[in-house]
Every structure is written in structure tokens, then in C-alpha cells.
Amino acid sequence: MRPRVDEVRIKGLGVIDEAVLELSSGLTVVTGETGAGKTMVVTGLGLLFGGRADPARVRPGAERAMVEGTLVVEPLGKVAQQVFDLGGDIDEDRLIIARSVSGEGRSRAWLGGRSVPVGTLTYLAEDLVAVHGQMDQQRLLQPGRQRAALDRYAGEELVKPMRAYTQAYRRHKEIGETLTELTARARERAQEADSLRFALEEIEKAAPKPGEEIELKQEEERLAHADALKTAAVTAHAALLGDPMAAVQGVQDAVSLLGQARAAVEAVRGFDPALAGIGDRLAEAGYLVSDVATELAAYSESVDADPARLAAVQERRALLTGLLRKYGEDSAAVLAFAERAAVRVLELDGDDDRVAELAREHEELTARLTELAAELTGVRTAAAERFGAAVTAELAALAMPHARVVVVVTPTGQFGPEGADEIELRMMAHPGAPALPLNKGASGGELSRVMLAIEVVFAGADPVPTFVFDEVDAGVGGKAAVEIGRRLARLARSAQVIVVTHLPQVAAFADQHLVVEKASDGRVVRSGVTTLDREGRARELSRMLAGLEDSELGRAHAEELLSIAEADKTK
């Protein structure tokens, strides 16, 4: 399902007090007397899709102009997803867009019930509508749109080389960015490598072992307090087992006292099992104290003050502390850092080889891109010739027999995502005239017809859901007007087309006919919009032809036009 504008409500815009436009999915024409406000319909649609807000367009006496549009969209389509991403909502397949302009020039916009910047409507409109009015920016006047449209017009012939070019371009860009980064950071990388090498040398020279700093701390504590430790062990040993070298004998030690206690108990243990158990525990205590006394004797012999070893331990601890401060919280972390640093140094040392390899690949891709870009240029040039001829033929039927449109394909030598070409549509107003850009080579009325011719040619290649034309028939009449109507009807087969016209030959081809009617109470002029039936269309066409709604000659001519248009559309 293609998106389309289903209904537009306009309030307080120009001479329109309040009006509702129910739009056809095919060709809708808007007619009315001069000054009735037909152009306000196009202005309203322009505002709805992000057009410039002119406070002078606000109806006198109204606080603001308000335009609200209901669009039919695919619930899971691209437009719906864009609305959801912006926080808006869609009611089944209906999207509401609104825009207000105050008399002071303040403008507000809403999308799917959410207030959004006006620029959001402009962004959304790029894929929804092409408004061709004398004061509007033309969609196909944008260079990027011209290139994209020509590529679609070129069709399948361009698909394969474009796919190959896109793949090569992405890789070329990726390598170029990597080379730029590597080159720009060459000094930083060299400094990083030097720093890491210094760290690796420092760690390798120190050769730390996991847990070494804890062992050294414990050893330093023992060496620093060796005398106190030895004295404590000797004193404890004497208390447990006695000191045979003591000058005064007779002081009982712990082992002797335990022996006396055990002997006293052993003498009577046979009289009470409970006391016998206590005697066994005293025996165990004696053995245990003897073992501890033996260990204390051995420990006191092992402890010896060694100033040289203490200095060596303190020096080693200072070295390790420096490493821990710079590279990790413990020796294991320092060793892990060394492993990572070694890998990083290999990477940095390999960058030079990598740069050379990438430079070779970049050069090869540049040559490949040059070939593919030239192929794209060739395909586009051929398509541009076909397109120019097709549009020129359309212009001949639109009362511009001497005008010629050409597409200039200019290779720039600068690779871009879509090739290396600049695309520009130009027009020669008459033989011998210079080929100028469209917005400089055509007047307002001519530009509308040129846009119509281009849109008709591009209808299948550059589809847009809705087209709006204002004064597309300016300065023409007779057969040329019929041809304009025929081409608008042709365009409406693949898109929704809304046209403001003053020519009955164009209006006759409408699928839906709206008339803007002006009313006055002598003080205030108001305009409203009415949808015409078959009889109403004949009457309006008669008015446009003869200036009189009830002219028999005009009615006959109107009926003839309607019959011709209906027959043409059924072909």
C-alpha cells in the first residue's frame, strides 16, 4: 500500500475560514474563481509538510492558521517506523499531521499526536510528497535527488556495477580511515612502544615471582627482630624444661611440675576411674610440653641476626614495591601486565608492515574504483541521453516545442558513496540558448510544466506517493492543455496527484473535482471547498469555459471534454 493524503482540514488560512478536502487516491483537481483561495490549498499542503510559515497568510481576525492532514500509511512500512521512532502514534493505518502558524509568526508542528520540530515534517515529506508551486523548493532541483532519480531511471543496467562499486568504496573508505589513523598516530605509537619496552626490560630484570613480596615482608620481620625472637624462645624453653646453665638451681620448670602432678595421681589412680583419666591427660600434657620445649630449643638455634641478609631483603622489597606502584597491585598482576605489554609491542611493531600492506590494498582499490566509477559514468551518460530525449518529447506536447532538457553527467574524480559523478538537469529554452539549471532556465509557469514532464518520465523510476502542482498549466490552452491533463492522469496511475488549475481541459481528467467557492456578506469574504458530482463537474467546467454555468454551448463543450477524458483514461 502506497502512502497517500486522505483528508486535509484548513482553518484560518488566507481567505479560507474553514474547509475540509477529501482527496482521491488518483487525480484530484482544485478549481475556483480568481481570488477564491485555490492557491491556499497548495499553501496548506506545503505547510503540512514543513513549508515556510508566512504569518501574512493567517486570515485577518484569526489568531492562527491551522492545517491538519490525515494520511493513509502502511502500519509496518517505512513512514510508520519513522513516526514510531519519533515517539508518534498511528491509529491502524491513519497518521495525523498538523501545523499551526500564529499571526506573530510562531509555528508549531505535530506528528502522530506528538509535538515535533517543523524540520521533522520536512524530513518526513522527502519520501511522501513533491510540491510543485511557484514559491516552493522543487524536489528534483536538489542535486542528490537528480542523481538518485537518474540512477533509478537507468534501471537494471546500473545495478550490478553500482553494487560492485559500493562494496569497493566501503572497503576503500575503511582502509583510508585506518591509514589516516595509523599515520596520524605514528609518533604516539612509537612513544607507546618505547614505554612498553622499558617496562618489559624493568620487569624482566627484576624477575618477580608470584607471592614473593609477601614472603620477603615476613623474612624482613624475622631478621629485623632476630634478637628478640631468640631471647623469647630461650626464656620459654627454660620455663618449660629448665636451664641447666642457670647459677641457681631448685627452680622447678613446667615439665618437672607436670611430672610431680602425674606421680601423685598415679599413686591412687586404681581407686577411682575418673582420677585415672586425669592422670592420662597429665601424661599427654607432659609429652606435649616436652615437644614444645624441644622445638623452642631448635628455633632458638636457628634464629641468628644477619645484617647483610636483612639489607638484601630490604633492597629487594624496595625494587618490588616500585614495580607494584607502576604496573600492578601484586607480583602476579605485574607479570600479567608484562604479558599484555609484550603482545601490544608486537602489534605496534607490526603496524609498519600493516601500513605498507594497507597502502598496497588502498592503491589497488583506488584503481578498481576508478574503473567502476567510469563504468557508472558510462551507464549514467547513456541513461541521461534517453531521459533528456523523453522529457523533451513531453515538453513538445506541453506547449514548449522549442525547449530541450538535458542531463549533464560530470565526472568529478572524487569518489563518493554513489560514484564520482555530479548530475544536473539543465534546460535550453530555445535553439541556440545556453543550457541553464532548471531553476534559472525556466520561468515559474514553464518550470511547473518541466517538473510535470520530468515527473511523468520518472513516474516509474523515482516514485513518490503524492504530487502537488500549482499553475502547472500557466500560459497554455487548447490542445496543450488537453495534453497536460492527459499526462497528469497518466501520472495518477502510479501516484496521488493534486492539481490547482484554471483550465477545464485539465480539470476534465480528474478522478475527483474540488471547487473553492467564495462567499461574501459585504464585509467579510469567506471561501469553502466543495466536492463535485458528475453534474456539478459539468456545470463548473461550463463556467471555466464560457464564464457562465448555464450556458448551453458551454455545457455541451464541458460534456464533450468529460467524455474525451473518460475515454482516454479507460484506454
| Ordered DSSP codes for 14-39 | TTEEEEEEE--SSEEEEEE-TTSSHH
CA distance linking residue 316 with residue 326, whole number of Å? 16
pLDDT at 523: 46
Q: Which of 107, 125, 111 is nearest to 45 (CA)?
A: 125
Q: Which of 492, 397, 395 is nearest to 448 (CA)?
A: 395
Cα 131 to Cα 263, 385, 452, 550: the distances in Å are 121, 26, 11, 35
pLDDT at 456: 76
Half-sphere exposure of 54 (CA within 13 A, CB side): 12
CA distance linking residue 200 with residue 194, whole number of Å? 10
pLDDT tens, the chain, 571 aa long: 778 899 999 998 888 888 888 898 899 999 888 776 777 888 888 888 888 888 888 888 888 999 999 999 888 888 888 889 888 899 888 999 999 999 888 899 999 989 999 888 888 887 777 776 544 435 567 777 788 878 888 888 999 999 999 999 999 999 998 888 777 777 777 788 889 989 999 999 989 999 888 888 888 888 888 888 888 888 888 888 876 555 455 567 888 888 888 888 888 888 888 888 998 898 999 899 999 988 888 888 888 888 898 899 889 988 888 999 999 889 999 999 999 999 988 877 766 777 888 889 999 999 999 999 999 999 999 999 999 999 998 888 787 888 899 999 999 989 999 999 999 989 888 888 888 887 776 666 677 778 778 777 876 555 678 888 876 666 666 777 888 888 888 888 888 899 888 889 999 999 999 998 877 654 445 667 889 999 999 999 998 887 766 778 888 888 888 998 888 888 7
Tell me whether strands 94-102 and 64-72 are parallel, antiparallel or unpaired.
antiparallel
Yes or no: say if 387 and 150 are a contact pair by the CB < 8 Å rule.
yes
DSSP string, 102-153: ETTS-EEEEETTEEE-HHHHHHHHTTTEEEE-TTSPPGGGSHHHHHHHHHHH
Task: Tell me the residue ranges of DSSP E strands in 275-403.
Answer: none
Q: Which of 571, 479, 501, 569 is nearest to 28 (CA)?
A: 501
Q: Please identify which residue in the block is written with the cell numbers 523548493.
A: 137
pLDDT at 222: 86
Yes or no: say if 14 and 43 are a contact pair by the CB < 8 Å rule.
yes
> Integer distance in angstroms from the first to the last C-alpha of the chain?
24
Using the 8-state DSSP alphabet, how is residue 51 labeled?
P
Distance from the Cα of residue 163 to its chain's centroid: 22
Residues contacting residue 10 through CB under 8 Å, at least 6 positions apart: 16, 18, 19, 20, 21, 40, 41, 44, 65, 66, 67, 529
CA distance linking residue 246 with residue 569, whole number of Å? 135
Cα 491 to Cα 91, 94, 132, 236, 457: the distances in Å are 29, 24, 14, 112, 9
Half-sphere exposure of 64 (CA within 13 A, CB side): 16
Amino acid at 545: L
CA distance linking residue 444 with residue 371, whole number of Å? 41
Give me the residues paired with residue 416 across strands.
419
| Run of H or E residues at 409 | strand 404-416
Q: Cβ atoms within 10 A of the Cβ of 564, count?
A: 16
